[in-house]
Amino acid sequence: MIRLFLVDDHPVVREGVRAMLAAEPGLHVVGEASHGQALLDQLPTTPADVVLLDINMPVLDGLATTQRLQAEFPQVKVLVLSMLNHTRYVSQLFAAGALGYTLKNDEHAEIVLAIHTVAAGRPYLCSELSLQMLHNVLNQSQTPTPLPVPNRYNFSRREVEVLEMLAAGLTNAEIAAQLQTSKRTIETHRQHLLDKTKAKNVAVLIRLAVAQGILR
Domain end point (choices 111, 142, 173): 142
In whole angstroms, give the CA distance from residue 126 to residue 103.
7
Q: How confident is the model at residue 199 (pLDDT cuts 50, 70, 90)?
A: confident
Q: How confident is the model at residue 120 (pLDDT cuts 50, 70, 90)?
A: very high
Residue-wise pLDDT tens digits, 66-102: 999 999 999 999 999 999 888 888 889 999 999 999 9
Q: Are residues 107 and 81 in the same domain?
A: yes
Range of the domain at 14: 2-142
152 pLDDT exceeds 80?
A: no
Q: Are residues 129 and 25 in the same domain?
A: yes
Contact 189/205 with Cβ under 8 angstroms? no
Report pTM: 0.64
Q: How many CB atoms lie within 10 A of CB 95?
A: 11
Residue 148 lies in a domain: no
Domain end point (choices 115, 142, 169): 142
Grouping H, G, I as helix, E, B as strand and the rest as coil, residue 125 is: strand
Sign of the alpha-carbon dihedral angle for 101, 107, 113, 115: positive
pLDDT at res. 15: 94
148 pLDDT exceeds 50?
A: no
196-209 average pLDDT score: 82
Domain end point (choices 116, 142, 168): 142
Q: How is 9-75 classified by DSSP, letter by letter?
A: S-HHHHHHHHHHHHT-TTEEEEEEESSHHHHHHHTTTS--SEEEE-SS-SSS-HHHHHHHHHHH-TT
Q: Are residues 114 and 15 in the same domain?
A: yes
CATH number of the domain to which 196 belongs = 1.10.10.10
The domain total for the chain is 2
Grouping H, G, I as helix, E, B as strand and the rest as coil, residue 93 is: helix
Residue 216 lies in a domain: no
Share of the chain above pLDDT 70, in %: 91
Q: Are residues 60 and 164 in the same domain?
A: no
Residue 94 lies in a domain: yes
Q: Are residues 126 and 182 in the same domain?
A: no
pLDDT at res. 151: 58
129-154 average pLDDT score: 64
CATH number of the domain to which 134 belongs = 3.40.50.2300
pLDDT at res. 97: 93
**If you compute the radius of gyration of the chain from its CA atoms, what whole number of angstroms results?**
30
